Chain A
């Protein structure tokens, strides 16, 4: 382990190193592209993008281990007059973003082979990742909005990356339009909050509100609209409409990127803003936002899972299941009430998002692999795939069962953590959430098993031959599977960090 003294010698801005590294990587990619616009060596681009994200991941991991911004080394590091903050939670989420980015860039190397405009693709991925890591550190409504847009705008472009594919372009446009509506809602919400508190910096908002709330209506509408803006990012009902189409139309690695990293980014913002700026004891008279999140969680997980159960395309099923998982992750913030162990509840959600980052990205990358082979998109097209590609199908089985919550990967333990958090809250709404979690997980096992059944048990319909084994995609899929599986025995390593980071927020 790195001695802690090293930390004190670094300047404070160094705490932002992951975001800076991601941004610089994006700029480097632009530079490479401007020097040689017709660069036909994708390995350089993919290499630089992967290197940058891995470097950022390593630095984040180092900070997490060393305790940067955590109570044991002197608490959160505030930068730019508290506009940005680096603490355990921001680093924890940055680790999710950077690792998902690394997986996606590795996998994209094969997925993009032969397609044009690869430099732009990688640069946009890195820029979106930069935006996400700034979101994790945003400590003011203004920076939050800017960071959110920084992560959203590249995403629109990425979804529409397959310019000649009608689905991709259509999905990109829909995503953009819904995104515009949602941004408007968010911006309006922020303005209303500013109107009633006169501050944008989160701590300042909380302080102003604690002095007394003048116009409860304005503040209430503002808070709810801010929540709506975040719900767009997390793909929660009723701001989820873009998600099934965007995930389905986008290149599969981007689907994985958006449904894992982008979703997590929405959550980190929601956690920080609501816990820091709108403490429940201050705003409870105006709006009990845990109730709002309870309703959102219930509706989101139910709608996501029920819709996923009747899909016939695997990618679209995963898209809906991703909505369902947003509902699970919302549980953490829905039970941050006085009775619950608040740090534990939030930590459980963080853990679920962490595990989800690997298992869901892995599942989408498997879909990318299948698309790469040119196999169809429906469940039937997956029939007998395991005979052709047993390793990849084994990895996919791990992802799917872990998503369902079977103890073959970390997903079982993160769901268990969510359940035990609801049990510790022990309110009526918490029990309701727990019941919904259990019922929906049971339902999800049904549709995840359909894929597993198709791959392993069914006989192949046509005589299809898997022609190649793309190294990058395989490495990413297998790597994600290994991490997903290892998170089962090594869950304790991650959970300690998550609970500490969450507890530091209160």
Chain B
């Protein structure tokens, strides 16, 4: 029987084909390329399901797969560069998520783009297909260079799609910003990639020959030859150098996953079409950063400093973004800040050793955030592309499908029992707590994450109440535009998932009852081969974990319950506050009560301002100095040489008088000069 693994490259190639088809023939196709994308991503989804089943061991015994596909550069006396495929529980799960969300986004786009008679659709669907292709290939990359290449392609696609409506003012500017800010982070990533190749002679993620395994050997004392050769002239310890490498790669992660301080591009990215926002936030662009940390988790675990930094960045971003989400007036803006905040949780989980928790939250978030964006898209269609929540209200009765699914997503986002977000967020905080009790840095990060729970509950339901409850505040809200099946179907699928997906890893229930229902945990533990050969199983990571677990109130179960109660209580408190303030027929703005803080929040802590100042006040003058040097000194020398040349050329030209007797005279004089000179040198006279 053929193995699913042989078809894994096709998961990415199918969207690539649809990219070409949509680009070349989209103009003449009935849905302008949407159908090509739908079929391609549906194919990818089926193949991903098949792959997941195979990895699960249901369809055969081979449960992980690694193969080099194409070696595009052969090194002579040094390393080779190649593209390869690696499938393990993590990557197969991610393949499933990405292809599912992509498919739903394609379907939704039929309603959001085609039904609204947008122009330039072939370009839209081509970019969307390329986006899916890039992300899928990024997910199964077996080495960091290939990951980097597709990471960049993902960035390019986000640029193309955010700036899709390039004739307006804001989208191209937002696209540029997204590209430049993430590029700033990718710059460090690139240096990190070069550093990893230079240090280890390989960029492979997995197996004994991969760089995480080599780094582990180096730290445990059995220094591999290549690493020793590199470190010796460097004069650095393995631990210190690996920390630097880890932080360099983290630069790319912080940029892509919109973590503080490189998060500023993401709210602006809302200028793109809403389905694109769904794709960017749920499954592709932003997820790429966190996924990369998870992919090379074996490397990060070796350097506790980096882990601490990741946790701190995560915790801080979670809180920081949540505070800004509280005052936003536009539906998608609230969602944008919630995305930043939620990815902060994932980073917090990764940094505090909660690998399973991070992957779990990545999974649930992908579902409920895609749902919320698509729901927002549905509302935006209904509101004739007005996104201001203060112009909405009372949409609950007019669009029940959207309302109920959106509510499901909101409950998940706020972390209300028993929706998906509750289980995953609870696990994130629990892991951070038990590891933080022995490590103050993690504890600080945990505290920030916990505080953000309250804010999340508040801003989420402020959004829900303002949008759907109360009385309609405008004519558009009074008489919304209807939506069709192609909007409702994705919402329905995701709405059900957002309510139920948490059941794949109900750790508290498992701990209480002793029933083994923590399926995701078991999934990520992986099979024998994943742990022994590829070294990406959970057992491997647990052995490397630099933290000790500590418990309060006398044991694991009470700690678990206290943690869950705490986060649920805070979330409910947030929801309750939102209910009191905004679930009234005629809600009014309460932000004025915040006083000076409001201005600060409205201006997003002046993050944009200081970054613009960095660009205009620091970089630009520096660039001007360099330009002056280039124009004045370098070009000046060049221009000087050329004017001297032309001037002397003009003189030389005048020797040619046109009078033949002059020529004869000059010729004779020249010969005579030569004769005299050589005669003197040669001593002829």
Contact = CB atoms under 8 A, between A and B. Distances in A.
Interface stretch (A174-182, A272-280, A357-365, A496-504): A174-182
A386 interface: no
A309 B674 contact: no
Interface in A282-325: 285-288, 291-292, 295, 303, 305-311
A292 B652 contact: no
Contacts of A221: 675, 679, 684
A505 to B, nearest CB: 24
Contact of B652 (A185, A225, A238, A303): A303
Interface stretch (A15-23, A132-140, A202-210, A241-249): A241-249
A160 to B, nearest CB: 14
Given A224-B674, A224-B678, A446-B642, A181 B650 contact: no
Contacts of A154: none
A178 B679 contact: no
A216 B684 contact: yes
Given A178-B667, A241-B663, A241-B666, A220 B649 contact: no
Contacts of B684: 216-217, 220-221, 286
Interface in A433-454: 443, 446
A231 to B, nearest CB: 9
Given A307-B649, A307-B652, A309-B645, A238 B660 contact: no
Given A181-B667, A241-B663, A306 B658 contact: no
B683 interface: yes
23 contacts: A173-B660, A174-B660, A177-B664, A178-B667, A181-B664, A216-B683, A220-B678, A228-B674, A237-B670, A239-B667, A239-B670, A242-B663, A285-B682, A288-B682, A291-B678, A292-B674, A295-B674, A305-B649, A306-B652, A307-B652, A308-B649, A310-B649, A443-B642
Contact of A306 (B648, B669, B681): B648
B671 A238 contact: yes
Given A217-B679, A306-B648, A309-B645, A178 B660 contact: yes
Contact of A309 (B646, B663, B679): B646
Which secondary structure dominates where chain B touches chain A? helix
Q: How large is the interface on B (under 10, 10 to 19, 20 to 34, 35 or more residues)?
A: 20 to 34
B685 interface: yes
B656 interface: yes
Nearest to A227: B674
Contact of A307 (B653, B667, B683): B653
Contacts of B663: 174, 178, 241-242
A307 B670 contact: no
Interface residues of A, number: 38
A404 to B, nearest CB: 15
Contact of A311 (B648, B653, B679, B681): B653
Contacts of B675: 221, 224-225
Interface of A: 173-174, 177-178, 181-182, 185, 216-217, 220-221, 224-225, 228, 237-239, 241-242, 244-245, 285-288, 291-292, 295, 303, 305-311, 443, 446
B239 to A, nearest CB: 47
Contacts of A228: 671, 674
A177 B685 CA distance: 31
B662 to A, nearest CB: 8
Contacts of B668: 181
Contacts of A185: 671
Given A292-B674, A306-B649, A220 B656 contact: no
Contacts of A224: 671, 674-675, 678
A423 to B, nearest CB: 24
A274 to B, nearest CB: 14
- In order of increasing CB-CB distance, the 3 nearest A-B pairs are A238-B670, A217-B684, A241-B663
Contacts of B656: 241, 244-245, 307
B674 to A, nearest CB: 6
B656 to A, nearest CB: 6
A443 B663 CA distance: 26
A225 B684 CA distance: 15
Nearest to A176: B660
B668 to A, nearest CB: 8
A295 B670 CA distance: 12
Contact of B645 (A239, A286, A443): A443
